[in-house]
Chain A
Amino acid sequence: MGKTIAEKILSSKSGQDAKANDIVIADLDFIMGQDGTSPLAIKAFYEMRGLKVFDPLRIAMVIDHSAPSPLEGVSELHRQMREFAQKQGINFYDIGDGVCHQLLPEQGHVVPGDLVIGADSHTCTYGAINVFSTGVGSTDLAAGIISGKLWFKVPETFKFVLNGKLPPGVFSKDLILYLIGDVTADGATYMAAEYTGETIEELSVEARFTISNMAVEMGAKCGLMAADEKAINWVRKHSRRDFEPVKADPDAVYAKVKEYDVSNLEPQVAKPHTVDNVSPIGEVLGIPVQQGVIGTCTNGRLEDLRIAAQILKGRKIHKNCRLIVAPSSRQVMLEAIKEGVLEILVRAGAAVVTPGCGPCVGTHNGVPSDGENVISTANRNFKGRMGNNRAFIYLGSPATVAASMLTGKITDPREFFV
């Protein structure tokens, strides 16, 4: 009987013939923690009587959730992270370097076939380059950096077969929102998602990251894709590590398979207060918005900023709106400066903030006021997510956010792509 990508990676990393629902202890290729989760992990590391990490080069800590620190208490937690990283000699990314999920692939730490854990739920992002990567909590992170191992229940796989080419003005963000709306927030709980088909092949690697990033919003453990030539070339450009891509067997066993034709897909918007509360844009047109956010681990890459710039070039955002732009890393920011993309956005009225997670996760950098509507490229719209539980968050593509900023209400971006 054949195996899925998840079963193959967990078999190779555990040294046993792993099938869905088995429990295995597997070797980890890379481990990541951010500033919301690392301080607790450091505490657990010492409580577990940890002295040295198993391999400093396979570990990274990233300060991105509150970067730079808005509060004294946070500054102290950051200090603990810096001290730990220096003492242990692990990879360390400080404020301004970027969002962890941009940095790990961009800096070449993760490659196809890897098994990776990160103490952040959107660690599933690297599935787009064929990495079995999944989010864990701080104690798992501590156990991982001490032992280089973790226990896993081998997930069953939910396969999404995506046919057709996305129409102009419709992006990978619209596609993943549509899929989450279709299968709901727990549609793939405890499962690995595998995204396949010609739609995926057509997408850039950057656009694919957006899809894998949101796998957790359907409950999935990881959001895997096969590594085609495009993905392999992308990884070679970013990493010097050797790797061997992992493909699903033709006779692999899937818990579920769903097929979609995306050629007529419209822009999609997730409405407050859950990610699976998704509508085609036609049903939300005209809803007033006071704040826009372009950035985050979902949609803060160069391609996303270019799409926004294409719409905002030579225009000004609406007087009732403010637009916050957070490039996903220093490198993305530098490239966007070099290309003139950031200049276009700033001239249009955007406030550019430090690469990081702040505006998405409600720590700082744009907390909305009571009753306000926000349209964001982020991956979550839970009540209170952006720091105010009396605000309303809509999620859409960078194009939808940019177009909506021009009119002050939710706007169909397709008119800019004809």
Chain B
Amino acid sequence: MDLKGRVHKFGDDINTDYIISGRYKFKTLDMKELAKHVMEDLDPDFYSKVKEGDFIVGGKNFGCGSSREQAPLAIINAGISAVIAKSFARIFYRNCINTGLPLIECDTDRIDEGDELEIDLHKGVLHNSTKGLDIPITPLPGVMLKILSDGGLVEHFKKYGTFKFD
């Protein structure tokens, strides 16, 4: 899986209320509509700035807060191809894998707003082309790679009818 795009950089402890506010998420299951409000409380113009394939980059504890799966779904529907952070909150982490949004854990201090990145998920390589740097990434455990490569947990269940990891 090769990913290529531009960076939208955020700080530490980005919570799911910032990703998609409770004001919107209870109203509809239309993720295209919710996507317009992604990150709105931190950057009102965020949605209009994103180009298909771009990355969200955060600091530590990205996705803390509620269990709303609307958070990764709204991110996906905004055109973001992966979220990169120093660490993730666990429910958000599971929700990303389950909805098929790749997550990358690595040191994000050397990634800045607007940088161009290239990522090879299977080889586990992140290249910052703007800065000419390779940044090591923490490989995903097998179970998660399996769900991700099936296209998320819905597709996994469609295929196997239950959990199947061996």
Contact = CB atoms under 8 A, between A and B. Distances in A.
Interface of A: 23, 25, 35-37, 39-40, 43-44, 47-50, 65-66, 71, 73-74, 77, 119-121, 123, 135-140, 142-143, 146-147, 149-151, 153, 185-186, 189-190, 216, 219, 221, 274, 361-363, 380, 382-385, 387, 389
Q: Which 10 A-B pairs have the closest CB atoms?
A: A137-B95, A186-B61, A137-B69, A48-B157, A139-B98, A73-B27, A138-B69, A382-B17, A121-B67, A362-B22
B121 interface: no
A40 B68 CA distance: 10
Nearest to A153: B141
Given A36-B68, A185-B61, A143 B157 contact: yes
Given A139-B152, A189-B89, A382-B15, A363 B69 contact: no
A135 to B, nearest CB: 4
A49 B67 contact: no
Interface string B42-77: 000000000000000000110011111110010000
A140 B143 CA distance: 14
Contacts of B94: 136-137, 140
B67 A135 contact: yes
B18 A382 contact: yes
Contacts of B17: 380, 382-385
Given A73-B28, A362-B23, A23 B143 contact: yes
B13 interface: yes
B27 A74 contact: yes
A361 B22 contact: yes
Contacts of A50: 157
A121 B70 contact: no
Contacts of B152: 139
18 contacts: A25-B163, A37-B67, A40-B73, A44-B153, A66-B26, A71-B27, A121-B67, A137-B95, A139-B69, A139-B99, A143-B157, A146-B157, A186-B64, A186-B87, A362-B23, A382-B15, A383-B41, A384-B17
Nearest to A120: B67
B26 A143 contact: no
Interface string B20-48: 01110111110000000000010000000
Interface in B137-163: 141, 143, 152-154, 157-158, 161-163
A137 B141 contact: no
A136 B89 CA distance: 11
A361 B23 CA distance: 8
B91 interface: yes
Report which residue of B18, B23, B70 has the largest number of chain A beta carbons within 10 angstroms of its beta carbon. Answer: B23
Interface size class of B (residues with CB under 8 A): 35 or more
Contacts of B21: 362, 384, 389
A153 B143 CA distance: 10
A149 B67 contact: no
Contacts of A151: 143, 163, 165
Given A185-B13, A384-B22, 10 more contacts: A43-B29, A135-B67, A136-B95, A138-B69, A138-B95, A139-B98, A189-B61, A189-B87, A190-B90, A383-B41
A34 to B, nearest CB: 9
A387 B25 CA distance: 11
A380 to B, nearest CB: 7
Contact of A274 (B13, B143, B154, B165): B13
A380 B94 CA distance: 21
B74 to A, nearest CB: 12
A64 to B, nearest CB: 11
B41 to A, nearest CB: 5
B26 A36 contact: yes
A135 B161 CA distance: 23
A216 B67 CA distance: 10
A384 B65 contact: no
A37 B72 CA distance: 13
Contacts of A77: 26, 29
A135 B66 CA distance: 9
Contact of B163 (A143, A185, A389): A143
B33 to A, nearest CB: 10
A40 B28 contact: no
Given A146-B157, A186-B60, A363 B26 contact: yes
A221 B68 contact: no
A49 B155 CA distance: 10
A204 to B, nearest CB: 27
A225 to B, nearest CB: 20
Contacts of A150: 163
Given A48-B157, A121-B65, A219-B61, A389 B99 contact: no
Contacts of A153: 141
A135 B25 CA distance: 18
Contacts of A219: 61, 64, 89-90
Report which residue of B13, B41, B69, B152 has the largest number of chain A beta carbons within 10 angstroms of its beta carbon. Answer: B69
B20 to A, nearest CB: 10
A137 B67 contact: yes
A205 to B, nearest CB: 24
B163 A47 contact: no
Contacts of A120: 66-67
